[in-house]
Amino acid sequence: MSVLICGGAGYIGSHMVRWLTERDHEVMVLDNLSTGHREAVQWGQLVEADLMDPASLDRVFARRNVDAVMHFCARSLVGESVAQPYAYYANNVTGTLNLLEAMRRHDVKRLVFSSTAAVFGNPVADVIDEEHPKTPINPYGASKLMVERILTDAAEAYGLRSVALRYFNAAGATSDACIGEAHACETHLIPNVLKSALGTGPALKLFGDDYATPDGTCVRDYVHVEDLAQAHLLAVDYLQDHPGAHAFNLGNGRGFSVREVIETAATVVGNSIDYEVAPRRTGDPAVLVASSSKAREQLGWTPAWTELGPIIESAWRWHQSQPW
């Protein structure tokens, strides 16, 4: 299978490139390198192009026949999306429309779209399934939900087959520490905890310790990046026999509190990790945990990384290997 991976120089995209290459698929990476890293593309062919430039997309599709597209490109910082909504709708919605139009011009009929748990907004249930109300509370989540709606319409109008995969908290790195999570502006808990332990990041802050949870801190669902890659390949195969637009939630189905993450990380690194308790952040729900029953039943997805310790250990090995 020949797969075009849009955003393949980024965190999840680069893991996807490796996953496919190791399974003998042909991979081409499209990335503008605005947030991705050239050095992360260690497999496949990198083509510098931009979803905001339709002509560059045509040049990419003209290079070779493409059987399926995996779309990871997005602006994804919630706070930034509130401050710069136009930029988020332009990049995440208009950019995706440009990609979809290019796919239609070049007769590519299968797409796996990187969506997010942010489409749900504030949860009304502790465990979130696909039928949970979708009321995003920021432009980032709204932009992803808009694309999901576009994909539904595209299935009806053009016969596009698509799967939207809604990640909860992506985490971890390859077992051999070859690639990992490297964001210029890091907002995720696990890398910030590990950077604090290494002394390469800012002082660690715990935002809110008065939630209605067992230890007072927020509870989140962490899913390993290699398990996400597995789900994407299963989704492409699923589309072979399932027309239409589909959506699946991806998570462990288990929640871990912020304090549990910090304590587990301390065990992994072999030292205590200091932190400061700060006020709650606006919009942080107490609990966000996915029900992935639909993905398990329909895609045949079985996460290999189910415990928090090994997930953090994989990230720690990668962070230790970096010349911070």
* CB 176 within 8 Å of CB 320: no
**Through-space distance between the first and last CA atoms of the chain, rounded to whole angstroms:** 37
Q: How many C-beta atoms surround the C-beta of residue 178 within 10 A?
A: 16
* 140 belongs to the catalytic site: yes
**Side-by-side strand order, sheet with 287-290:** 127-128, 287-290, 219-220, 256-257
User: 126-129: which pairs have CB atoms within 8 A and are 24 or more residues apart?
Assistant: 126/255, 126/287, 126/289, 127/253, 127/289, 127/290, 127/291, 128/249, 128/288, 128/289, 128/290, 128/291, 129/249, 129/291, 129/293, 129/294
Of 11, 140, 167, 238, the active-site residue reads 140
| CA 167 – CA 188 distance, rounded (Å) | 13
> What residues act catalytically?
140
